[in-house]
Amino acid sequence: MEQNRPGLTSIATLWIMAYVFGYARVSTTDQDAQLQHDALTAAGCYRIFTDTASGALQSRPELTKLLDQLRPGDTLVVWRLDRLGRSIRHLIDQLSDLQDRGIEFRSLQENIDTTTSGGRLVFHIFASLAEFERDLITERTNAGLAAARARGRVGGRPPKLTEDQITTAKKLYDQQDMTVAQIGEVLGVSRSTIYRALRRDTHLTRPQ
């Protein structure tokens, strides 16, 4: 039976009665989350939420429940950073959301704790790297589109995507920082056009 958070009557009480929650994830049903559970319990977690799913999957019901239950002053603890984020960009987005909500974060293996100045510094470094990565993706995409336009095509009905654009779409998809719909917006075509191009020789394993 799941325990409910005790009732809180004021903002002052909310901060005083802060809780430490743990989140664990294993990739398949064959893996055992006990190692993560033991570490999270030793870290003082009041309650642990566990998902069994690939990190690439957006649907993680236990994480969704945990994020809904967190309140300002609480702390979210994970055994390792990759348990929480699907990619650097996704991880930074998750941590930024926690920070905006007044929720602290700890990662045991990387020894990151946002309640400390050192932990906050590491977080800001990650955020800068993610922004740098996003800028590189944009630059590569624009360069690929410019090259495709410069080369052009002669004769027949042109396809909606050039080979260069298809290559760019696959790279963006593999990096897992953008949905298929977002890739379509970047390349100026519909989601279904991107989907058909990727299906030619790519096994799609994540939500679109």
pLDDT digits over 110-124, tens only?
A: 888 988 888 778 777
pTM over 0.85: no
* Virtual torsion, Cα 167, 169, 172, 174, nearest 10 deg: -70
Residues 30-38 have a mean pLDDT of 85
- pLDDT tens-digit map of 130-164: 677 777 777 777 777 776 666 654 444 445 777 87
The position carrying tokens 């589109």 is 145
In this prediction, residue 12 has a pLDDT band, given cuts at 50, 70 and 90, of: very low
Residues 10-15 have a mean pLDDT of 46
Backbone phi and psi for residue 76, each to the nearest 5 degrees, phi listed first? -100, 125
Sheet holding 47-52, edge to edge: 47-52, 20-26, 75-78, 104-107, 112-113
Reply yes or no on whether the pLDDT at 208 is more than 50: no
More reliable by pLDDT, 69 or 86: 69
Q: Which domains does the chain have, with CATH numbers?
A: 11-115 (3.40.50.1390), 133-199 (1.10.10)
Cβ(91)–Cβ(84) under 8 Å?
A: yes
Residues 165-169 have a mean pLDDT of 82
In this prediction, residue 39 has a pLDDT band, given cuts at 50, 70 and 90, of: very high
In this prediction, residue 6 has a pLDDT band, given cuts at 50, 70 and 90, of: low
More reliable by pLDDT, 168 or 89: 168
Residues 179-203 have a mean pLDDT of 76
Residues 174-187 have a mean pLDDT of 76
Backbone phi and psi for residue 197, each to the nearest 5 degrees, phi listed first? -65, -40
pLDDT at 10: 47
Query: Which residue numbers are catalytic?
Result: 27
